[in-house]
């Protein structure tokens, strides 16, 4: 019997049966468009929407936690329904991911929804980084004969740095940085609105802009110098982005390099992005640049590792795993490798692993986990839940 | 000299630390915000009987369980995130919990960037504390942002 794997993220749901090769990626939101007055779009129904300007979002997640269970239910109804996965809950075991330090009331909400509303047969609760650690340990880790992994989960709402020893999460050492893809998109939106064009309403569009043009700088001061130059003086950073008009141009794109700096065609509206391209993702490494009183990813990675005793440190430096959608920025891995190598207090082999698809890595890990011989130990059946409630998960779940 | 100082203080209102902190906090809250405009469907009067296409086929006798309304989940579980954090702090003082897991402040010195052009800057605006890098950017800053969007 296939199991349903549900990586329930703040930005997107990665859902699919354990028999599937890849999960289906569904935005975890309900969007309302100006052009379609009749109908709210649930999840990936937004792909049917022709004019995505000024979308209004209703999200089940706030700061990375599922605070709006009713919105989540609407989206899950769609995901489990005939059009998408066609799940028969009473005959299905489900694996779901939850954020670290999930609040007790919200844990209850998830269980109540899945067991009492949908009546799933059994439930396994894990977290995306735990699945990633499992996947890493049975693939890369086994070759290296290591038992320590440091998972960096850089998602939409926040970034978690989670150390694992022998597959067990070291809860006291988990650190969270309150910067994720959402803060970056909002920051980019704010800058563009101030410097060029009012786009505060266009979250969907600016998110695309961010994905298309932003990158993590591996040499910040050098990039600042280059971006200060004029275009004619060989500024290799500036890019021009053609905005969609939702009639002839459906999706925005980067203008060809040879056209950059020339006059826009009559039907084109253009954003010019210069230092924005790398100062925006820079927030991940220096949250203090906008006044968030926290250390950046690289510094936090080193601080977490340095809190362990000497012999273990080496293993952590050797096994840093990056997952989550925000780690897709070009240069992200190189920057972390560079910074961590520079700041490590000991001479250690440093190795940063970025999966081919960081967004799906946790889902794939959870899928592999569901095929593990020990898997059934980590599940709770509906009957047991009805008897014991949330306590049934006490020993087997590391949330 | 004395006269000049007098002129500066009288012409420009200088924000105190509390006001600057409020502004900063507002800017950080904006980074968390989902929507910056009103709901486009807010003024629509929806008839409750708009057919849902999924339901029509399966309205058979199989529905044995009464579905809980979305109101139920709203009442039971909808909580502001800040309430949850506060509740947890009271319950679980020792940690590890959400609050203890937050990364500590950086040990590195803060960097400063011009609020107008985004390049490294070395000056602070006297009235509001905003950063700027050149006279040109200061002018833009004074015309647009400085003391213009205080709550």
For A313-347, the pLDDT digits (tens) are 999 999 999 999 999 999 999 999 999 999 998 88
What's the confidence (pLDDT) of residue B59?
Answer: 47
| Most B CBs within 10 Å, among A31, A293, A304, to test the B interface | A293
Q: What pLDDT, in 10s, does the model give residues A165-185?
A: 999 999 999 999 999 999 999
Q: What pLDDT, in 10s, does the model give residues A7-65?
A: 999 999 999 999 999 999 999 999 999 888 778 999 999 988 888 888 999 999 999 99
HSE, CB side, 13 Å, CA atoms: give it for residue A51: 10
Closest CA of chain A from B106, distance in Å: 4
Q: Do A300 and B103 touch (CB under 8 A)?
A: yes
Contact between A7 and A32 under an 8 Å Cβ cutoff? The reply is no
Q: Do A295 and B76 touch (CB under 8 A)?
A: no
Q: What pLDDT, in 10s, does the model give residues A141-172?
A: 888 888 899 999 999 999 999 999 999 999 99
Q: Residue B11: pLDDT above 70?
A: no
Q: Do B37 and A201 touch (CB under 8 A)?
A: yes
Coil, strand, or helix at residue A29? coil
Q: CB distance from A300 to chain B under 8 Å?
A: yes
What does the buried/exposed string (b/e) look like for B90-115 if buried means 16 or more CB atoms within 10 Å of the residue's CB?
eeeeeeebbebbebeebeeeeebbbb
Torsion from C-alpha of B129, B130, B132, B137, nearest 10 degrees: -120
Residue A166 backbone zone (phi > 0: left; psi -120 to 50: alpha; other: beta): left
Chain pair A-B, CB pairs under 8 angstroms: 164
Residues in chain B: 151
Closest CA of chain A from B8, distance in Å: 28
Q: Residue B60: pLDDT above 50?
A: no
Query: What integer is the mean pLDDT of A121-131?
Result: 95
Q: Do B27 and A291 touch (CB under 8 A)?
A: yes
Q: Which residues of B touch A56 (CB under 8 A)?
A: 35, 37-41
Specify the pTM: 0.90
Rounded to an integer, what distance in angstroms lies between the CA atom of residue A201 and that of residue B85?
29
Q: CB distance from A311 to chain B under 8 Å?
A: no
Q: Do B77 and A105 touch (CB under 8 A)?
A: yes
């Amino acid at each position: 019997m296939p199991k349903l794997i549900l990586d329930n993220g703040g930005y997107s749901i990665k859902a699919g049966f354990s028999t599937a090769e890849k999960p289906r990626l569904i935005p975890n939101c309900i969007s309302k468009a100006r052009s379609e007055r009749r109908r709210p779009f649930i999840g990936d129904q937004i792909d049917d929407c022709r004019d995505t300007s000024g979308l209004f979002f209703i999200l089940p997640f706030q700061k990375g936690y599922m605070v709006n269970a009713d919105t989540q239910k609407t989206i899950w109804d769609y995901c489990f329904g005939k059009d998408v996965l066609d799940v028969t809950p009473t005959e299905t075991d489900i694996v779901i991911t939850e954020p670290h330090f999930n609040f007790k009331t919200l844990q209850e909400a998830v269980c109540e929804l899945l067991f009492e509303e949908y009546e799933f047969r059994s439930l396994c609760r894990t977290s995306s980084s735990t699945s990633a650690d499992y996947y890493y340990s049975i693939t890369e880790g086994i070759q290296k004969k290591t038992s320590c992994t440091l998972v960096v989960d850089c998602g939409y709402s926040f970034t978690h740095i989670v150390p694992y020893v022998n597959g067990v999460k070291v809860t006291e050492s988990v650190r969270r940085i309150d910067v994720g893809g959402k803060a970056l998109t909002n920051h980019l939106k704010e800058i563009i609105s101030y410097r060029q064009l009012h786009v505060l309403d266009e979250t969907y569009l600016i998110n695309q802009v961010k994905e298309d043009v932003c990158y993590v700088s591996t040499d910040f001061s050098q990039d600042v110098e280059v971006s200060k130059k004029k275009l004619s003086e060989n500024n290799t950073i500036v890019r021009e982005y053609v905005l969609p008009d939702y009639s002839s141009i459906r999706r925005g794109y980067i203008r060809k390099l040879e056209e950059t700096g020339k006059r826009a065609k009559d039907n084109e509206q253009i954003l010019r992005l210069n230092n924005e391209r790398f100062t925006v993702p820079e927030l991940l490494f220096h949250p203090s640049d906008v006044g968030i009183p926290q250390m950046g990813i690289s510094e936090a990675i080193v601080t977490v590792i340095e809190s362990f005793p000497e012999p273990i440190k080496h293993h952590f430096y050797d096994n840093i795993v990056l997952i989550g959608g925000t780690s897709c920025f070009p240069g992200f891995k190189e920057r972390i490798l560079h910074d961590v190598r520079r700041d490590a207090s000991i001479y250690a082999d440093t190795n940063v692993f970025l999966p081919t698809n960081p967004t799906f890595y946790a889902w794939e890990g959870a899928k592999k986990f569901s095929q593990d011989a020990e898997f059934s130990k980590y599940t709770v059946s509906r009957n047991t839940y009805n008897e014991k409630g949330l306590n049934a998960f006490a020993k087997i779940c590391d949330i | 000299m004395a006269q000049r100082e007098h002129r500066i203080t009288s012409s420009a209102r200088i924000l105190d630390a509390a006001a600057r902190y409020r502004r900063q906090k507002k800017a950080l809250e904006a980074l968390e915000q989902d929507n910056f405009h009103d709901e486009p469907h807010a003024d629509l009067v929806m008839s409750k009987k708009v057919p849902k296409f999924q339901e029509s086929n399966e309205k058979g006798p199989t529905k044995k369980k009464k579905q809980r309304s979305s109101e139920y989940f709203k009442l039971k579980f909808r909580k502001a995130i800040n309430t949850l954090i506060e509740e947890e702090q009271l319950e679980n003082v020792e940690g590890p919990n959400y609050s203890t897991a937050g990364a500590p402040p950086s040990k590195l010195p803060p960097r400063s960037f011009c609020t107008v052009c985004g390049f490294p800057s070395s000056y602070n605006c006297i009235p509001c504390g905003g950063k700027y890098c050149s006279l040109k950017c200061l002018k833009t800053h004074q015309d647009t942002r400085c003391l213009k969007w205080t709550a």
